[in-house]
Amino acid sequence: MAWLVAGLGNPGERYSNNRHNAGAMVADLLASRAGERFRKVRFVPVEVAQMRVDGETVYLAKSHRWMNEAGPSYASLAKKRGVDVARFVAIHDDIDLAFGALKVKLSGSTAGHNGLKSLQSALGTAEFLRVRLGVGRPPGRQDPADFVLEPFAKRELPEVEVLIEEAADAVLSLIRDGLERTQDRFNRGDAR
Protein backbone atom coordinates (compact mmCIF):
# COMPACT_ATOMS: atom_id res chain seq x y z
CA MET A 1 0.00 0.00 0.00
CA ALA A 2 1.26 3.49 -0.90
CA TRP A 3 2.05 6.52 1.25
CA LEU A 4 1.05 10.13 0.58
CA VAL A 5 3.26 12.91 1.94
CA ALA A 6 1.59 16.33 1.72
CA GLY A 7 3.99 19.28 1.84
CA LEU A 8 1.68 22.07 2.97
CA GLY A 9 2.28 25.52 1.54
CA ASN A 10 0.94 28.18 -0.81
CA PRO A 11 1.45 27.92 -4.57
CA GLY A 12 3.67 30.26 -6.55
CA GLU A 13 7.17 31.66 -6.44
CA ARG A 14 6.09 34.61 -4.29
CA TYR A 15 5.48 32.30 -1.32
CA SER A 16 8.16 29.68 -1.93
CA ASN A 17 10.55 30.78 0.85
CA ASN A 18 8.13 31.91 3.52
CA ARG A 19 7.46 30.25 6.88
CA HIS A 20 4.09 28.90 5.78
CA ASN A 21 5.82 26.92 3.01
CA ALA A 22 8.15 24.93 5.26
CA GLY A 23 6.17 21.76 4.50
CA ALA A 24 6.46 22.27 0.74
CA MET A 25 10.20 22.87 1.16
CA VAL A 26 10.52 19.41 2.76
CA ALA A 27 8.57 17.80 -0.11
CA ASP A 28 10.86 19.57 -2.59
CA LEU A 29 13.95 18.28 -0.80
CA LEU A 30 12.65 14.69 -0.72
CA ALA A 31 11.91 14.80 -4.45
CA SER A 32 15.34 16.27 -5.17
CA ARG A 33 17.09 13.59 -3.10
CA ALA A 34 15.21 10.90 -5.04
CA GLY A 35 16.00 12.53 -8.39
CA GLU A 36 12.29 12.98 -9.09
CA ARG A 37 10.35 16.00 -10.23
CA PHE A 38 6.80 17.16 -9.59
CA ARG A 39 4.19 16.65 -12.29
CA LYS A 40 0.60 17.86 -12.51
CA VAL A 41 -2.14 15.33 -11.83
CA ARG A 42 -5.10 15.21 -14.18
CA PHE A 43 -8.37 16.51 -12.71
CA VAL A 44 -6.84 17.25 -9.27
CA PRO A 45 -5.24 20.64 -8.44
CA VAL A 46 -2.04 19.11 -7.13
CA GLU A 47 1.41 18.15 -8.34
CA VAL A 48 3.09 14.89 -7.41
CA ALA A 49 6.55 13.36 -7.39
CA GLN A 50 6.67 9.60 -6.95
CA MET A 51 9.51 7.79 -5.19
CA ARG A 52 10.25 4.42 -3.61
CA VAL A 53 11.34 3.92 0.00
CA ASP A 54 12.31 0.35 0.93
CA GLY A 55 9.95 -1.04 -1.71
CA GLU A 56 7.07 1.25 -0.71
CA THR A 57 5.54 3.71 -3.18
CA VAL A 58 5.53 7.24 -1.78
CA TYR A 59 3.64 10.12 -3.41
CA LEU A 60 5.02 13.56 -2.52
CA ALA A 61 2.31 16.15 -3.09
CA LYS A 62 1.94 19.93 -3.22
CA SER A 63 -1.44 21.54 -3.81
CA HIS A 64 -2.09 24.27 -6.38
CA ARG A 65 -4.68 25.78 -4.02
CA TRP A 66 -4.12 28.20 -1.17
CA MET A 67 -3.18 26.57 2.12
CA ASN A 68 -6.61 27.10 3.71
CA GLU A 69 -8.37 25.50 0.69
CA ALA A 70 -5.89 22.69 -0.05
CA GLY A 71 -7.45 19.86 1.97
CA PRO A 72 -9.77 18.61 -0.80
CA SER A 73 -6.81 18.45 -3.23
CA TYR A 74 -4.91 16.09 -0.94
CA ALA A 75 -7.99 14.07 -0.01
CA SER A 76 -8.87 13.60 -3.70
CA LEU A 77 -5.34 12.47 -4.48
CA ALA A 78 -5.37 10.02 -1.56
CA LYS A 79 -8.65 8.54 -2.83
CA LYS A 80 -7.44 8.42 -6.43
CA ARG A 81 -4.20 6.63 -5.46
CA GLY A 82 -5.80 4.35 -2.85
CA VAL A 83 -3.85 5.76 0.11
CA ASP A 84 -5.26 4.93 3.53
CA VAL A 85 -5.36 7.80 6.07
CA ALA A 86 -3.00 5.77 8.31
CA ARG A 87 -0.35 6.31 5.62
CA PHE A 88 -1.04 10.01 5.11
CA VAL A 89 1.68 12.39 6.34
CA ALA A 90 1.15 16.17 6.53
CA ILE A 91 4.29 18.31 6.80
CA HIS A 92 3.59 21.82 8.06
CA ASP A 93 4.85 24.94 9.81
CA ASP A 94 3.89 25.40 13.44
CA ILE A 95 4.05 28.70 15.37
CA ASP A 96 3.42 26.85 18.64
CA LEU A 97 6.85 25.24 18.38
CA ALA A 98 10.02 27.18 19.08
CA PHE A 99 11.97 28.16 15.97
CA GLY A 100 13.96 25.14 14.75
CA ALA A 101 12.00 22.58 16.80
CA LEU A 102 10.74 19.41 15.13
CA LYS A 103 7.88 17.19 16.32
CA VAL A 104 6.32 14.10 14.78
CA LYS A 105 2.90 13.02 15.99
CA LEU A 106 -0.35 11.27 15.14
CA SER A 107 -3.57 13.32 15.15
CA GLY A 108 -4.33 16.22 17.48
CA SER A 109 -5.98 19.60 17.16
CA THR A 110 -5.40 22.03 14.32
CA ALA A 111 -4.29 24.75 16.79
CA GLY A 112 -5.74 27.34 14.43
CA HIS A 113 -3.65 26.18 11.43
CA ASN A 114 -5.94 26.72 8.44
CA GLY A 115 -4.12 24.18 6.27
CA LEU A 116 -4.70 21.49 8.90
CA LYS A 117 -8.33 22.56 9.32
CA SER A 118 -8.93 22.17 5.59
CA LEU A 119 -7.11 18.83 5.52
CA GLN A 120 -8.93 17.45 8.56
CA SER A 121 -12.28 18.50 7.12
CA ALA A 122 -11.56 16.96 3.71
CA LEU A 123 -10.19 13.70 5.13
CA GLY A 124 -13.04 13.49 7.64
CA THR A 125 -10.62 12.69 10.47
CA ALA A 126 -7.74 14.09 12.51
CA GLU A 127 -6.06 10.67 12.60
CA PHE A 128 -3.20 11.33 10.22
CA LEU A 129 0.54 11.68 10.80
CA ARG A 130 2.09 15.12 11.13
CA VAL A 131 5.63 16.41 10.87
CA ARG A 132 5.59 19.80 12.58
CA LEU A 133 8.31 22.35 11.87
CA GLY A 134 8.76 25.06 14.47
CA VAL A 135 8.82 28.53 12.96
CA GLY A 136 8.45 30.38 16.27
CA ARG A 137 5.96 32.97 17.44
CA PRO A 138 5.53 36.36 15.79
CA PRO A 139 7.35 39.20 17.53
CA GLY A 140 5.37 41.68 19.61
CA ARG A 141 1.78 42.05 18.51
CA GLN A 142 2.33 41.02 14.89
CA ASP A 143 -0.57 39.08 13.39
CA PRO A 144 0.40 35.39 13.12
CA ALA A 145 -1.12 35.27 9.60
CA ASP A 146 1.22 38.04 8.44
CA PHE A 147 4.19 36.47 10.23
CA VAL A 148 3.90 33.07 8.54
CA LEU A 149 3.63 34.71 5.12
CA GLU A 150 7.00 36.43 5.56
CA PRO A 151 10.20 34.87 4.26
CA PHE A 152 12.63 33.48 6.80
CA ALA A 153 15.14 36.08 7.97
CA LYS A 154 18.61 35.78 6.44
CA ARG A 155 20.13 34.98 9.85
CA GLU A 156 17.64 32.09 10.24
CA LEU A 157 18.49 30.38 6.95
CA PRO A 158 21.28 28.09 8.21
CA GLU A 159 18.99 26.70 10.92
CA VAL A 160 16.06 26.46 8.48
CA GLU A 161 18.23 24.36 6.17
CA VAL A 162 19.01 21.96 9.03
CA LEU A 163 15.32 21.83 10.03
CA ILE A 164 14.21 21.01 6.46
CA GLU A 165 16.88 18.27 6.16
CA GLU A 166 15.88 16.72 9.49
CA ALA A 167 12.18 16.89 8.66
CA ALA A 168 12.88 15.06 5.37
CA ASP A 169 14.80 12.39 7.33
CA ALA A 170 11.87 12.15 9.77
CA VAL A 171 9.43 11.49 6.91
CA LEU A 172 11.63 8.66 5.63
CA SER A 173 11.92 7.29 9.16
CA LEU A 174 8.13 7.28 9.56
CA ILE A 175 7.83 5.12 6.45
CA ARG A 176 10.71 2.78 7.35
CA ASP A 177 10.55 2.60 11.15
CA GLY A 178 7.10 3.72 12.28
CA LEU A 179 5.88 6.47 14.58
CA GLU A 180 7.45 5.57 17.95
CA ARG A 181 11.00 5.08 16.68
CA THR A 182 10.72 8.25 14.61
CA GLN A 183 9.51 10.27 17.61
CA ASP A 184 12.39 8.92 19.71
CA ARG A 185 14.92 9.96 17.07
CA PHE A 186 13.54 13.29 15.87
CA ASN A 187 11.25 14.98 18.39
CA ARG A 188 13.15 17.94 19.81
CA GLY A 189 12.48 21.44 21.04
CA ASP A 190 9.77 22.81 23.23
CA ALA A 191 6.19 23.49 22.36
CA ARG A 192 5.08 26.91 23.50
pLDDT (tens digit, 9 = 90+) per residue, 92-112? 999 999 999 999 999 988 888
Q: What is the DSSP letter of 123?
A: H
Phi first, then psi, for residue 44 (nearest 5°) are -135, 130
179, pLDDT greater than 90: yes
**CATH top-level class for 3-186?**
alpha beta
Domain-by-domain residue ranges, the chain? Answer: 3-186
131, pLDDT greater than 50: yes
Tell me the three state secondary structure of residue 137: coil
Exposed e or buried b for every residue in 66-96, given b needs 16+ CB within 10 A?
A: bbeebbbbbbbbbeebebeeebbbbbbbbbb
51, pLDDT greater than 50: yes
Of 20, 64, 92, 113, catalytic: 20
Residues 6 or more apart in contact with residue 12 via CB below 8 angstroms: none
Catalytic annotation on 20? Answer: yes
Q: What is the DSSP letter of 114?
A: H
